[in-house]
Structures are given as C-alpha cells and as structure tokens.
C-alpha cells in the first residue's frame, strides 16, 4: 500500500468521531444522609458564579444537616489527581479559603428549602430572584466541587440543585466558542445555498446531475449547523441539554456526512463528466451510503445516551466498523480519481482534465492539512502529562467543519453552473466531418486490452435532413469493435441525438 493511502486511512480513523458532548450548567442530585459525597467538575470563565439549593423531605421537624463543601481548581485539564486531593480536604473538615480552594463546613435546619449564600461574593453582583451566589470563581480554569451531607435523621431525603453560570451563560469555557462558530457556519451555508440557487436558476436548462448532489449537500450542511447552533443555544440559556434534540442534531450531521461522502465518490468516478451513468456502481454507492449512515447514527446514539461511568464496549463496537468503512471510502475515492484522470488523459480532454487536476490537488491538500493538524493536536493536547492549554480544545471539533466547508467551496467553484456547462458534460465519441486526417488512439480500458480506433478518411457525406438520416449515417460509417463497450442505454441515445441536432 502506498504511503498516501496509509496517511488517508489514518485520517479517516481519527476523524470518525468529531462531535463531542457539551457540558451542562445545572445538576440535580437526590441523596440520603451519610451517602457518598457529590463531585462535579466544570471549566469556567473568570467571574462565573456558583449557586446551590437544598430541599429536604422528612417527617421529623427541625432536622439538622451538616454540609461540607469544598471547591478546588485543577492545574491540568484532567482533574483525576484533584479528586483525590478534594476528598482529603472534605475529610479534614478544616475551612480554608484561597484563590484556588473554597471550603466551608456549616449546619442548617432542614425544614424546607436551603439556599447557601455564605461565601466570597463581589458586592456589586445582583441576586437572581433573591438568591445570592455562594462563590465566585476568580480565575479561568477547571474546577472540581465536592459536597458531603450528613444528618442525625436517617429517614431524610435530600435534593441538591447546583448551578454554575458565567456572564456568557451556562456553557463551559471550552464549549462556549462553538456557539458563535456554529452560528457563523450556519450563515455561511445559507450564503452558499443562496448563491448556488441563483446560479442554478440562471442555468436551469443546462444543469448537470452532479450539481443537484452539490445542492443537496449544501442544504444538509445548513440544517446540520442550524441544529447544532440551536442545541448549544438551549444549553447556554437553560443550563440543561435536551437529549432528543441532541440525537436529532447528530443524525442530521450523519446524513450530511453520508451525502458528502457519496458526492465525493460520484465526482471521483466521473459521473456526468466521463460516464453518462454509474450503472451497477450506483447501487454500491447507495449501499455504502446507507451502511455509513447506519453506523454513524448508531455511534452517535450510543455516545449521547451512554453515561461516562458506563462501559464503552458498545460504543467501541460501533466506532471501529465506522472507522474501517471510512478508510475504505477514502481508498475508493483516490482509486476512482486515478482511473478518471487516466481516462481523460487518454482522450486528450484538457478542459475536464484540468478540472479533475484541481479537484485532486484539493483533496491532497486536505489530507496534508489533516495530518498536520492531527500531529499538532496529539503533541499539544494528548501526549502531555498535564494539559494546561485547554482553551483551544474546541478547535479539534471546529477544524473538520472548516475543512469540509473549504472542500465544498472548491467543488462549488469547479462545478458551478455556467453558460459553458455542456463543456464538462458527458459526450459520446463521434467522428467529425471536417477531420480528414487519420488519428490513432490507444485506449487501455478496464480489461487491460489495447484497442486501435481508426477514423475513416475522405468520406463523402451526403446532406442530412433529419435526425434519422444522421443516425443511419453513423451506423454505416462508425466501425464497431466488440472489445469496446457499446451504447446500450436510452440515455446515451438521447445524448447522441442531442449532439447531432447541434451540428445541424
């Protein structure tokens, strides 16, 4: 296997899962006295505020509860060591406050609702409905909160509500940049859709079939970015995610990714440019598309519904076949591109050959850019013992959307509807009346057979007054060769009649 193909397989495996789950800003827990402490982590902006409310359900009046609350900032993106340190702080019951740690131990009468409001709070901050924040985070960072509740009443049922909100909303510091990003990408796809619709309307008589595929990809891309933007907007405003909306957004994204891969495949195969139809290959393209959508939808569903604490075996079972299929699609694309450019080079069709050279260079550039970006991510974000540069992690998700939008823009420019659309359309090979010189073409077809096609010299062409006479003349003067594929479809016959009618 050649080196570029290996690189392409690596790219397809690593970009299979590009959309991560966004962090919520509100959490609800139901616990009993003397249960295990509650731990919750979140990366926040400077000035974010913490709100905690507790509701008690008991038949014993004037029950007492002891609350042990601690907040610790993690120096690294992975707060695994911070959890152990936080647990030690809670067990010591020593109240210490600093720029990185907040710790308080208090006793409350658990009659009804309890809103914790003792803490370091800036005086100019206003309350939300009379509820003041418990703590204000003084630095950007990853924080871990630990809460332990004990009581002398064993029948007590405690509901804990935790909120962390910044001036930007409930989204975390890592996820918030994706909100304006998806908003911009939605507007970008709307602009592409309007431009493509106007160009298609102006040239509606000469549209190629592949241009309809491009329009479908633009439409699904617009829906994908709109659903992701709506998902992040809901989380940012309400603090909680709607699982059904997330699944819908992921499945729309799967549909767009599926149609995008099918588009690149049919373009690489030369559909509408070199081949008038795909024949049995179309069934394989559709089959691969259906299989890819099924695997991608299954992987996204498991990724959303499975909790982090649960086993990821089912998710791995869905991710590995998806990566293998993506690798096969990439290999198919480049193999088809090689065959298509070879055919155009043998036919000496410089206009179409230049078109596919630009398209091939674009795909090669995308592969190189993907490899460089992945090496950067592996070096900066993954192969480090303590990740401190975590604010640009959102680029790992945004990069692939930007890269595909650039590839789509190049495809739109190369296959844009113009007055010269038919230059790139498939045209059956016909003899020309004005060519009196004998030309010799060597065609290396798919069967590896070399065929010599000789054009007839010095034909006395009688006047042709009708299409039927033209077709009869073609049958009598064009030599048929059994080693070459014959024109056996009504579609090719219509194309032949169209080309002959233009010569009249």
Res. 411: pLDDT tops 50: yes
Answer yes or no: do 184 and 63 share one domain: no
Q: How many angstroms separate the CA atoms of 38 and 373, rounded?
A: 38
390 close to 77: Cβ distance less than 8 angstroms: yes
Answer yes or no: do 279 and 194 share one domain: yes
Res. 461: pLDDT tops 80: no
Q: Is residue 225 part of a domain?
A: yes
Q: Is residue 490 part of a domain?
A: yes
Q: Pick the last residue of a domain from 165, 186, 208.
A: 165
Answer yes or no: do 394 and 268 share one domain: yes
Q: Pick the last residue of a domain from 139, 165, 191.
A: 165
- Model pLDDT for residues 26-67, shown as the tens digit of each residue: 888 888 877 888 888 898 988 898 888 888 776 666 677 888
- Model pLDDT for residues 360-401, shown as the tens digit of each residue: 898 889 889 988 998 988 888 888 888 888 888 899 889 999
Res. 311: pLDDT tops 70: no
Answer yes or no: do 277 and 293 share one domain: yes
Residue predicted with more confidence, 70 or 352: 70
Q: Is residue 201 part of a domain?
A: yes
Q: Can you give the pLDDT at residue 98? A: 59
pLDDT band at 207 (very low <50, low <70, confident <90, very high): confident
Q: Is residue 406 part of a domain?
A: yes
Q: Can you give the pLDDT at residue 229? A: 93
Answer yes or no: do 270 and 418 share one domain: yes
Q: Is residue 148 part of a domain?
A: yes
Mean pLDDT lowest for which of 154-163, 360-369, 393-402, 449-458? Answer: 449-458
Q: Can you give the pLDDT at residue 16? A: 44
Res. 307: pLDDT tops 60: no
Q: Can you give the pLDDT at residue 177? A: 92
CA distances from 371 to 156, 364, 405, 406 (A): 56, 11, 17, 16
Q: How many angstroms separate the CA atoms of 216 and 210, rounded?
A: 10
Mean pLDDT estimate for the chain: 75
Q: Average of pLDDT values for 429-454?
A: 39
The two three-digit tokens of residue 330, written as one number? 């990439």
Q: Is residue 338 part of a domain?
A: no
Answer yes or no: do 209 and 297 share one domain: yes
389 close to 140: Cβ distance less than 8 angstroms: no
Answer yes or no: do 155 and 188 share one domain: no
Q: Give the whole-number percent of the chain exceeding pLDDT 70.
A: 69
Note the pTM of the prediction, 2 decimals: 0.73
Q: How many angstroms separate the CA atoms of 360 and 378, rounded?
A: 27
Mean pLDDT lowest for which of 183-192, 320-329, 481-490? Answer: 481-490
Q: How many angstroms separate the CA atoms of 466 and 469, rounded?
A: 5
Res. 184: pLDDT tops 70: yes
Q: Is residue 130 part of a domain?
A: yes
Q: Can you give the pLDDT at residue 432? A: 38
Give the strand pairing for 113-116 and 49-57.
Answer: antiparallel
Q: Is residue 84 part of a domain?
A: yes
Q: How many angstroms separate the CA atoms of 92 and 103, rounded?
A: 10
Q: How many angstroms separate the CA atoms of 374 and 386, rounded?
A: 19
The total number of structural domains in the chain stands at 3
Say which CATH number the domain at 64 has: 2.60.120.680
Answer yes or no: do 236 and 144 share one domain: no
Residue predicted with more confidence, 427 or 195: 195
214 close to 196: Cβ distance less than 8 angstroms: yes
Q: Pick the last residue of a domain from 145, 165, 185.
A: 165
Q: Can you give the pLDDT at residue 9? A: 41
Give the long-range contacts of residues 500-504, CB within 8 A, separation 24 or more.
500/430, 500/467, 500/470, 500/471, 500/474, 501/467, 503/470, 504/464
Give the containing element (helix H, strand E) for 297.
helix 280-305
Answer yes or no: do 99 and 203 share one domain: no
Answer yes or no: do 268 and 416 share one domain: yes
Q: At what angle do helices 395-414 and 209-238 cross, to 10 degrees?
A: 160
Answer yes or no: do 275 and 410 share one domain: yes
- Model pLDDT for residues 99-130, shown as the tens digit of each residue: 567 888 878 777 656 666 554 433 344 455 55
**Which residues form the domain of 472?**
440-502
Res. 166: pLDDT tops 60: yes
Q: Can you give the pLDDT at residue 179? A: 92
Q: How many angstroms separate the CA atoms of 201 and 203, rounded?
A: 6
Q: How many CB atoms lie within 10 A of CB 90?
A: 19
82 close to 72: Cβ distance less than 8 angstroms: yes
Answer yes or no: do 198 and 156 share one domain: no
Q: Can you give the pLDDT at residue 125? A: 47
- Model pLDDT for residues 227-277, shown as the tens digit of each residue: 999 999 999 998 888 888 888 888 998 999 998 898 888 888 887 667 767
């Amino acid at each position: 296997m050649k080196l570029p193909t290996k690189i392409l397989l690596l790219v397809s495996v690593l970009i299979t899962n590009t959309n991560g789950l966004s962090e919520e800003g509100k959490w609800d827990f139901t616990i009993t006295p003397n249960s295990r402490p509650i731990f919750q982590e979140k990366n926040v902006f400077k000035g974010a505020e913490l709100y905690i409310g507790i509701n008690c359900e008991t038949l014993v009046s004037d029950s007492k509860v002891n609350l042990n609350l601690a907040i610790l900032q993690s120096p690294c993106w992975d707060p695994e060591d911070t959890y152990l340190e936080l647990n030690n702080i809670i067990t010591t019951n020593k109240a210490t406050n600093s720029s990185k740690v907040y710790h308080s131990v208090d006793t409350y009468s658990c009659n009804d609702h309890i809103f914790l409001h003792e803490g370091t709070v800036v005086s100019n901050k206003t309350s939300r409905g009379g509820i003041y924040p418990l703590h204000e985070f003084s630095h950007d960072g990853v924080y871990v909160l630990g809460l332990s509740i004990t009581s002398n009443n064993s029948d007590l049922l405690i509901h804990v509500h935790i909120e962390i909100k910044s001036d930007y909303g409930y989204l975390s510091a890592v996820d918030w940049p994706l909100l304006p990003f998806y908003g911009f990408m939605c507007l970008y796809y709307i602009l592409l859709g309007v431009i493509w619709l106007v160009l298609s309307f102006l040239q509606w008589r000469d549209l190629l079939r592949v241009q309809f595929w491009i329009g479908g990809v633009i439409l699904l891309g617009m829906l994908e970015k709109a659903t992701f933007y709506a998902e992040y907007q809901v989380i940012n405003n309400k603090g909680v995610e709607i699982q059904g909306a997330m699944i819908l957004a992921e499945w729309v994204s799967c549909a767009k990714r599926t149609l995008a891969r099918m588009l690149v495949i049919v373009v690489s195969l030369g559909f509408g440019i070199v081949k008038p139809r795909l024949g049995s290959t179309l069934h394989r393209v559709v089959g691969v598309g259906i299989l890819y959508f099924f695997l991608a939808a299954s992987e996204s569903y498991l990724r959303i519904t499975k909790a982090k604490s649960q086993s990821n075996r089912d998710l791995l079972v869905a991710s590995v076949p998806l990566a293998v299929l993506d690798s096969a699609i990439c290999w198919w694309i480049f193999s088809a591109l090689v065959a298509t450019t070879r055919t155009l080079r043998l036919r000496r069709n410089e206009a179409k050959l230049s078109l596919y050279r630009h398209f091939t260079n674009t795909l090669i550039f995308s592969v190189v850019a993907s490899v460089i970006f992945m090496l950067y991510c592996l070096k900066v974000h993954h192969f480090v013992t303590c990740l401190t540069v975590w604010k640009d992690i959102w680029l790992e998700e945004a990069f692939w959307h930007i890269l595909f939008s650039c590839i789509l823009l190049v495809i739109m420019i190369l296959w844009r509807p113009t007055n010269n659309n038919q230059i790139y359309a498939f045209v059956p090979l016909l003899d020309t009346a004005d060519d009196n010189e004998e030309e010799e073409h060597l065609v290396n077809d798919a069967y590896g057979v070399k065929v010599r096609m000789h054009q007839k010299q010095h034909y006395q062409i009688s006047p042709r007054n009708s299409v039927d006479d033209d077709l009869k003349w073609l049958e009598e003067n064009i030599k048929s060769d059994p080693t070459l594929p014959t024109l056996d479809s009504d579609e090719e016959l219509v194309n032949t009649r169209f080309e002959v009618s233009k010569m009249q």
